[in-house]
Structure 1
Amino acid sequence: MTRFAVIITNYNYARFVIEAVDGVLAQGRRAAQILVVDDGSTDGSQALLTEHYGHHPGVRLLFGENGGQLAAFQRGVAAVDADVDVVCFLDADDRWQPDYLEKIGAIYDQRKDVGFVLSDIDLFGNEEGRIGFAEKELDLGYTAISTYALTYWYGAPTSALSLRLRYARLCMDLPPQVGATWRISADNCLVFGASIFGARKYFLPTGQVGYRIHGNNGWWAQQNRTTTFLGLLQSRGLIGHYARAAGMDDSCLELAKLEYRTKPEPDWAEARRYIGLCWRARLPWWKRLERILSIVRSPKRKK
């Protein structure tokens, strides 16, 4: 059975963090490890956590100087036991319902080929609603080439992400000059890195992840043309770093048709992405056309 480690990262969320930790402790399927990483909070979080969990056998507290979300992720992943299979991440201002680990655990138990599971999120607090990658459960297959060439984001916010430990370690192996850019948006490192390093991805709408909206923390509220451009530019740099570590270059475009075939039920938007990738491959035009036609004629594509 899949063994889970849960990394809860906290920075000045004393008013929320106990609810987050208690939600993990209340899971119907227990985590093998619960690691609470406090990133140098100054609001009394550390004293509060020590009071509640300092002697709790199922919770390990990791305190350190403020270094940002990525540094907290790195400290947490470094502390995960070697016999753990999957690492889950939870922001201290979010919460899980009791069946979250049971639901994603069923996928990891049954599908040893799946390396990364993302869930939908339910907004609560100052806003309500649901955000999900798709309308229903979906095997996304492999996504390395699409991510590499298109900067496509096969992901979700931090609290709805989980991945096998080997991928988490690869994603967190970043030099300081790269990591500095992702100090406070480390979920991008997990999403992009897992794709490039070859994790098969799966979207599972669990209805179990609560994403708290408070202040101005909704990422959609912060987007404009400048931030969109800079975000994509920085994402290209991050993906480029991971690609070099994985030994990927533009020759991977020749494999786009094969990556597409790993997706059991791709929609037309996904098909269009891979048609474009096939056309960009460094192959004779007739070979590129042949691969494009194989995608267009694919019987498994959803209408």
Structure 2
Amino acid sequence: MKQIAIVICNYNYERFLAEAIDSALAQDYPGTRVIVIDDGSTDGSRAILEQYGSRVSTVLKENGGQVSAYNLGVEIADTEYVIFLDSDDVLYPGAVTEVMRIFEEGDLAKVQFRLDVIDEAGNQTGAYVPNTEPPTDCGSLLRDGWLYPSPPASGNAYSVKALKAIFPVPEGGINRYGADFYAIYGAALVGPVASLTQSLGAYRVHHAATPSVSFANSEQIKKAPKAFKERWVTLREVAKDRLSIELPPTFHDFAHEKAYMGSSLYHATLRARWRWMFNDSSAYLHTIVANPFWGLKKKMGTLLLSCLCLVPYSPLSDFVVRYITNPLARRSTAGN
């Protein structure tokens, strides 16, 4: 039987850690190993880890950031497959069994699955990620610069062999965080990606109750686009040096561009909104019109919504910006 490791990278998430570990231990696939890498936590995380004894393999390290934890996790993983589970997320029972069933069907670099979005208290919000299913050959589109739709870190299972072709990646600076960027897109350069449409876990969004254009947990909306650009530079270097793949200088990604759009238009004056449309919207519009993952209906709908961001009634235009940028805004509307 092939083996899989669930590697939980934790830093100061004492209040969520046990739930993540319990969800990993509850998997019914016999060849599952649970590893927790604690990245120098200063809260009560390590006391919680002691309670699990030999049921989990615990690695205690000095704080170095998420990339350093991933580098170590890939290095010590002695299984064929691995899931990197964020310590504030959970896997549903049977998730590993379903993932391994797909891995058995072909030589895949990654199997991704949908994650339900939960709030800080663990309540279902009604949203899920991702909302678009990518093709199996994500690598060919990635070579043209298109970042394919993927769930966050916890919604991905990898071939360890594929990750070892990418990791370790440089640590420090912008690379203290965002390790899943290199795993998600690096794996697609190594081999095919399969996508499951059912939810096999839950992704916790903090501050979900606050109306906002920000959806990501780890970085502010104004910082995330810049971080993505810098990580793309690093991924290009890794791809060239280790895989002999020449990636284009720039990438295309609607999630990235809508973050720029949201930070530019939210609570902006009407004049500033129109100035953005005429001077700065070309990359945003390109990721809609030329998007290889979307059908015509979704493209037309997104373009129409984008036009509503320019109406002179600011409560409506701000609502539309939130609706485009944050999936939670869509679900709250649907429930009203």
- TM-score bracket for this pair, using the shorter chain length: 0.7 to 0.9
CA separation in 1, counterparts of 2:224 and 2:215?
15
Which of 234, 242, 246 aligns to 2:238? It is: 242
Report the equivalent of 2:70. 73
> Contact 1:148 / 1:239 at 8 angstroms: preserved in 2?
no
- How far the C-alpha of 1:229 sits from its partner, in A, is 4.2
Report the equivalent of 1:142. 137
Q: 1:61 to 1:250 in 2, by over 3 A?
A: closer
Which of 185, 199, 204 aligns to 1:192? It is: 185
> Contact 1:95 / 1:211 at 8 angstroms: preserved in 2?
yes
What SS does the corresponding residue of 2:15 show, helix, strand or coil?
coil
- How far the C-alpha of 1:131 sits from its partner, in A, is 2.6
- How far the C-alpha of 1:99 sits from its partner, in A, is 1.2
| Paired residues for 1:287-302 under 5 Å | none
CA separation in 1, counterparts of 2:22 and 2:170?
34
- How far the C-alpha of 1:269 sits from its partner, in A, is 4.2
TM-score (norm 2): 0.66
> Contact 2:145 / 2:247 at 8 angstroms: preserved in 1?
no
CA separation in 2, counterparts of 1:28 and 1:270?
37
Report the equivalent of 1:281. none
Report the equivalent of 1:183. 176
- How far the C-alpha of 1:234 sits from its partner, in A, is 1.2
User: Kindly, what percent of the aligned residue pairs are identical?
Assistant: 27
CA separation in 1, counterparts of 2:28 and 2:157?
17
Report the equivalent of 2:52. 53
TM-score (norm 1): 0.72
1:160-190 CA-to-partner distances (Å, cap 9, x unmatched) read 01110111222222234xx642212111010
CA separation in 2, counterparts of 1:193 and 1:214?
27
Q: 1:236 to 1:151 in 2, by over 3 A?
A: farther
CA separation in 2, counterparts of 1:79 and 1:232?
27
- How far the C-alpha of 1:89 sits from its partner, in A, is 1.0
Which of 249, 270, 274 aligns to 2:292? It is: 270
Which of 126, 130, 134 aligns to 1:129? It is: 126
What SS does the corresponding residue of 2:93 show, helix, strand or coil?
coil
1:168-219 CA-to-partner distances (Å, cap 9, x unmatched) read 222222234xx642212111010121122x2201111232211112247941
> Contact 2:115 / 2:130 at 8 angstroms: preserved in 1?
no
| Paired residues for 1:16-95 under 5 Å | 16-50=16-50, 52-54=51-53, 56=54, 58-81=55-78, 84-95=79-90
Which of 102, 114, 117 aligns to 1:120? It is: 114
Report the equivalent of 1:174. 169
One-letter amino acid of the structure 2 residue matched with residue 247 of structure 1: S
Q: 1:241 to 1:220 in 2, by over 3 A?
A: same
CA separation in 2, counterparts of 1:147 and 1:186?
18
Q: 1:43 to 1:215 in 2, by over 3 A?
A: farther
**Unaligned runs of at least 5 residues, structure 1:** 252-267, 274-303
- How far the C-alpha of 1:222 sits from its partner, in A, is 5.7
**Unaligned runs of at least 5 residues, structure 2:** 209-213, 249-289, 296-336
What SS does the corresponding residue of 1:204 show, helix, strand or coil?
strand
> Over aligned residue pairs, what C-alpha RMSD do you find?
2.7
What SS does the corresponding residue of 2:109 show, helix, strand or coil?
strand
How many residues were matched structurally? Answer: 245
Q: 1:125 to 1:147 in 2, by over 3 A?
A: same
CA separation in 2, counterparts of 1:223 and 1:272?
27
